Amino acid sequence: RKEVEQDPGPFNVPEGATVAFNCTYSNSASQSFFWYRQDCRKEPKLLMSVYSSGNEDGRFTAQLNRASQYISLLIRDSKLSDSATYLCVVNNRVDSSYKLIFGSGTRLLVRP
Amino acid sequence: NAGVTQTPKFRVLKTGQSMTLLCAQDMNHEYMYWYRQDPGMGLRLIHYSVGEGTTAKGEVPDGYNVSRLKKQNFLLGLESAAPSQTSVYFCASSDRDRGGDTQYFGPGTRLTVL
């Protein structure tokens, strides 16, 4: 079983739609959680951190459910520029350092 | 600030050849990482470093070596390239004081081994 699992998609939605992605993780001791965005043939970039209380950044809302070990990302009013792959990322402490575990990503296509 | 830079951007090798990928960061970060990204696999950690002069193995270290002689540089070496090492390689760095939370990635190196 992968440590971080995501639906690969693609999610194909019209502009203005609301779309949600989920991600599950296997390590109950995971310390912190993130969504990264990766454009085609580019490097991953941090989109937002995910806090236990939930957090919102403009059209993006992230939620964490520790009991069920899943993370979600909601995108409202989708734009063409939101088309990308969204990576769910978990930070696990290992000895005195930290390691990010990346999901394989969910691809989003926003059509006109 | 340039952030994280990687050289080269592209490379084609023949099986058995060797090469070194260079990563440099100008953010004074303690932690540095090398990942590979393959279709459907997500990013997988090859080696990482928690400070100058230190290195450690990640999830898929076999066939690779690394060195961190200077804080700002992290080198990834392939001693004898194999077709299975065809991949996109990303270097990243992060701030120790934030627990390594946010990683900043370089633009990647696309390597093909024939």
- What is the block-wise mean pLDDT of chain A (112 residues), using blocks of 10 residues? 89 97 91 92 93 90 94 97 96 75 94 96
Q: How far is C-alpha B11 from the geometric centre of its chain's CA atoms?
A: 14
Per-residue model confidence (pLDDT) at position A53: 85
3-class DSSP assignment, residue B15: coil
Per-residue model confidence (pLDDT) at position B39: 85
Q: Bridge partners of B76?
A: B21, B66
Q: Is residue B18 within 8 Å of residue B79, measured between CB atoms?
A: yes
| Model confidence pLDDT, tens digit, residues B38-67 | 987 889 999 999 899 999 999 899 999 999
* Percent composition of chain B: helix, strand, coil (DSSP 3-state, to 5): 5, 50, 45
Alpha-carbon span B12 to A106, nearest angstrom: 29
The first and second tokens of residue A37, run together, are: 């965005």
Give the Cβ contact number of residue A96 at 10 Å.
6
For B:59-98, CB contacts with A below 8 A are 90, 94
Q: Does A26 reach chain B within 8 Å, measured CB to CB?
A: no
Mean pLDDT on B82-105: 87
Q: Does A42 reach chain B within 8 Å, measured CB to CB?
A: yes
Gap from A38 CA to chain B (nearest CA, Å) = 11
Alpha-carbon span A58 to B39, nearest angstrom: 31
Gap from A51 CA to chain B (nearest CA, Å) = 13
Q: Is residue B58 within 8 Å of residue B66, measured between CB atoms?
A: no
Gap from A41 CA to chain B (nearest CA, Å) = 9
Confidence of residue B98 (pLDDT cuts 50, 70, 90): low
Question: Across chain B, what does the average pLDDT equal?
Answer: 93
Q: Does A31 reach chain B within 8 Å, measured CB to CB?
A: yes
Per-residue model confidence (pLDDT) at position A31: 82
Q: Is residue A40 within 8 Å of residue A19, measured between CB atoms?
A: no
Per-residue model confidence (pLDDT) at position A43: 95
Question: Which among B2, B29, B5 is positioned nearest to B91, based on CA atoms?
Answer: B5
Q: Does A51 reach chain B within 8 Å, measured CB to CB?
A: no
